Each structure stands twice: as C-alpha cells, then as structure tokens.
Chain A
Amino acid sequence: MARWAIAIHGGAGVDPNLPEHRQEEAKRVLARCLQLGVDLLRAGTPALDVVEAVVRELESDPCFNSGRGSALSRSGSVEMEASIMDGRGRRCGAVSGVSTVKNPVSLARRVMEKSPHSYLAFDGAEEFAREQGLEVVDNSYFITEENVGMLKLAKEANSILFDYRIPLTGADTCSALAAASEKNHGAGNGMVMNGLPISIYAPETVGCAVVDSTGACAAATSTGGLMNKMNGRIGDSPLIGSGTYACKACAVSCTGEGEAIIRSTLARDVAAVMEYKGLPLQEAVDYCVNERLDEGFAGLIAVSGTGEVAYGFNCTGMFRGCATEDGFMEVGIWE
C-alpha cells in the first residue's frame, strides 16, 4: 500500500531582508494550503485532484505570484500561465497568456482532459475557457495595489523586478532602489537574470507535487511570470519538462529563473536521473539543483511514487511546505 506525500512551493529566491511580518504571512498561507492538501489525501483523493485544488488555493491568495497577486507585465496587465501533469500515462495540459480566467491551473486541466491538444494560449485559451464554462473575471481582479507600485519601480529602474514584497516606503525612488541593489550586491547576492541586472531577486510562482495513496503522482505549476515582462513572454511554468513534470517515479514543480529551468529541462531531469541513473529522489533533486543550473538560480519540490518528499534550491530561500503520511509536516523559507 503506497504512502501519500505532498510538497508545495510559493517561489524560490527570497530576499534575505524580507520583513518578518511578510515571512509570517507567507508561512500562514503555505500552512493553510498544505493542510488542504493533507486533508484531501487523508480522504483518499487522487493526486491530480489534490494538486489542482491546492494550486487553486494558492492562486486565489494574493500573497504569491499566481492568479490574484500575479506580477504585472510591461503593459500593466496580468498574463498568467500554468501547467498540470498526471503521472499516470503522463497526460498533460498547459495554458499561457491567460488574462481573465480565475484559476489558470483549472484551465490547464481542461485542456488536458477536454481538448485534443496539450497547450493552448492567449485568445484561443480564453475562448476555450468560456466554452468550458470556467469562471472568468475582469483582469483587474488579479491586480493588487502593491504590484502596481512594484511595476512602477521596475519601470523606473528599467529592469526586470522579481520581488514585489519589498515594502514600498523608502524604496519608491530610483536611487533608493539602486541603493537597495547595492546592498544586495554587496551582500554577495550579485544576481543577474538573463544578462540583465535584477534590482531585487525574489521570484515567485506556485506549485504542488503529490503522490496519493495509490502511488499515483501529479504536479502543477502556476504563475503570473516576471514583473515588467514583455507582453507575450512565456516562462518555464507552462512548459512540460521544464517547470512541471510527473511520471510513475515522481512529480516535480520548479520555480526561479525561467531561462535556467528551461535550458536544463529541470523537472524532467529529476525524473530522468532517477530513471536512467537509478538515483533516489533526494539525490536526484540535489544533483539537478547543484549540477544542472550552471549560473542560474532556481528551486524545486518533488515527491516520489514511494511516498518521499524532497526539495532543493540554489538561491537564498524558497517558500515551501511538505507533508508525508507518517505525520511529518513542515513549512519553511530558508535553508
């Protein structure tokens, strides 16, 4: 009889100076979503349903960069993307360029189950959502005041900004932002994304990986993408094999620098290393995080078909939570 396990994340690459109350808030949201997953698993819910439900909950909370609370694109609108994968048969679904669908992860699941395709985007995805009767809202529903402020900062600094949870007071001038950047660089966090300097690095995306009591694995990832991204920019989150992957052996969801995750096909690599090199879950995760990312920053969560959980990241922190059937449960941010 297989043992269930669940891992969730709210993004990798956390600013070490994140205010205490923000950290507490994030941990509360993570704990709540984790508990939701645990309750469902205890009730025998299949892995695919669990990952969808948990990611929906994460999308609905404005705390993280997905659904409501998504980072804003260059034009000030929200463009979301998500993917989901069922380890049984490796069915998958993904969407990009979603701007009115309340829960992108659910749309991704519909693409998988109700369309002849695996991936729909932009107008086509929006149209499909309406055909399927999914809940749609005005784009403004997803936009938070805080993110509007962060976008302004990002534009002023003319750089891609990750962390929107750095408080705006005292940092709403270009020079203050530059000073903050200096501080971070001085602290040895001289992080750069795709060749462009990043003022403050703390990307979010949300994800969930689950193995249920029948041993079936599933994973899902959802995001609003990079703050101030070019409209139409697609990241790793909707790309099967990069941001999300699930098979018989494991389920994986990644977060961090999209480019690094894509070029290393990170999620798939964890599974490939388990399958082709015979490594157990934690070793596979460590190998991929340490050897695969080169200069890129990223993190991932994973579960194995045998009920283990693992996570890894090579940056300053990752919002995460894990729980296993034997009662282990933890929520964390730092190492």
Chain B
Amino acid sequence: MEASIMDGTTMGCGSVCGLSTVVNPISLARIVMEKTPHIYLAFNAAEAFARDQGVETMDPSHFITEENLERLGQAKEANRVQAMEGQPPIDDNSRTGTVGCVAVDLSGNLASATSTGGVVNKMAGRIGDTPIIGAGTYANTLCAVSATGKGEAIIRHTVARDVAALVEHRGLSLQEAAERVVAAVPRGSFGLVAVSGAGEVTMPFNTAGMFRACAADSGYSEVGIWPDADGDAGGES
C-alpha cells in the first residue's frame, strides 16, 4: 500500500509506499511528515518505522479480500493471454481505485491526502502516482488536489501540481484548471477532486465513472459514480 499527504499552508508533505501491515497508511504518511526529517519512506524501512512509532499493524492477510484474489486471478490469466500473443502486460486499473480527500477549513487552510493498494497484479515494487507529491497529491495556499486513475499517466502529467499551476500561473478558476488537465489526456486516463481556498469544489474525470462525493459550507452536497446527466462531472463553483 502507498499514500501521501500534503499541508497546503506549510507545504509540508509525507509519503509512504511498499507497506503491507500498516492498518492506516495515510496516518503513517502524516507521521513521516511531522516526525522525521524526511518526506518519503518506503518498504521495509517504512514498516520498521511504523513499529517504532507504535502505529496499528495487522497481518498482511487482513487487507486481502476474496474479491481481490479473484481479480488477481483474472488479471494473471489476462496477462498470460497477452504474453502468449507477444504483447507487454496490460495495466488495467478499470475496476479498482485509489481513495483521496481534499479539504479547505474555515480559515482557508488546504490539505490533500491520497491512499491506495495500487494496480491489480502490479509488479512487486511498483510505485504509482499516489505517493508522489505533485502527481497524485498536491496542496498549496490556492487549492488542494487528489487524483486517481492510471498511475503512469498521472505521474507523467504531474496532474495534481498542474491543476494548481494553472490556477497560479494562468489565473484559471479551479474548475477550468481541473477540467483542462483532465481534457488534455486520452479518455480513460484519470479523474481528480479539488477544492480551492475560496471554498469551491470540482470533481472532473474522463473515465467511465469515478466514485466521488463533496460537500460545501453552503449546504451543497453530492455523491456520485457516473457522469452527471448533462454530461458534466460533478462539482460546484
């Protein structure tokens, strides 16, 4: 499992990856941010650090569900077929996801956090976009962003940072910036949730659907999976 967290006010960040026994990876990421001189700890060392810090751990089997075992079986089978045809393994993330949250508080402080188990049947040691600051997670004093989808696409497009950069350098609104980043890539790549310091929310995606929800001080709230009826992704400005 891997996760990252970022504090938009201090620009502090924490990341972890390669975890297999920590119950809440995101909390470990936060501890890395707040209690170590580093930003990013991985694999065995992150596990050892977790024990050092006394965070809750469980046997790796705690995290494994029957459903995912079945998915893994299917994925391996599909790859086997691919391999027989001489093609590289497919990276199909279509039915699993990452989770994330972005928020702005009453004082205008922003923060973002993202966490995942990664791709089904990923190569051991594969790190996705989720623990990479600027890719899956980003927050500054203008906005907070958390992305989900094809990890490799999110990394190369530095998605979370790009949304913030458009707001900052081009003066786009949060919604414009977010939609632009999502529209610039092939369909089926990724989606994101973002909030701005002014309390706006936007949740664009170019995949078939994105599990999402949002709520604002104004009383507006929404939970969704598919694109809205009028074709727009959810959100309120």
Contacts and interface: CB of A to CB of B under 8 A. Distances in A.
Contacts of A127: 124-125
Interface of B: 6, 11-13, 15, 17-18, 36-46, 48-49, 88-91, 119, 122-128, 132-135, 138, 151-152, 155-158, 161-162, 165-166, 169-170
Contact of A231 (B44, B135, B155, B158): B44
A265 interface: yes
A67 interface: no
Given A268-B162, A269-B161, 12 more contacts: A97-B125, A116-B89, A117-B119, A117-B128, A117-B151, A120-B123, A195-B37, A229-B38, A231-B45, A232-B41, A241-B155, A262-B40
B38 A263 contact: no
B127 A120 contact: yes
Interface string A154-165: 000000100000
Interface in A163-202: 193-196
Contacts of B6: 263
B37 A97 contact: no
Contacts of B122: 117
A193 B165 CA distance: 26
Interface of A: 85, 90-92, 94, 96-97, 114-128, 160, 193-196, 229-235, 239-242, 245, 258-259, 262-265, 268-269, 272-273, 276-277, 294
Contacts of B17: 121, 234
B156 A91 contact: yes
B157 A117 contact: no
B132 A240 contact: yes
Given A241-B135, A276-B169, A119 B41 contact: no
A292 to B, nearest CB: 10
Contacts of B18: 121-122
Contacts of A269: 161, 165
Given A234-B15, A241-B132, A123 B124 contact: yes
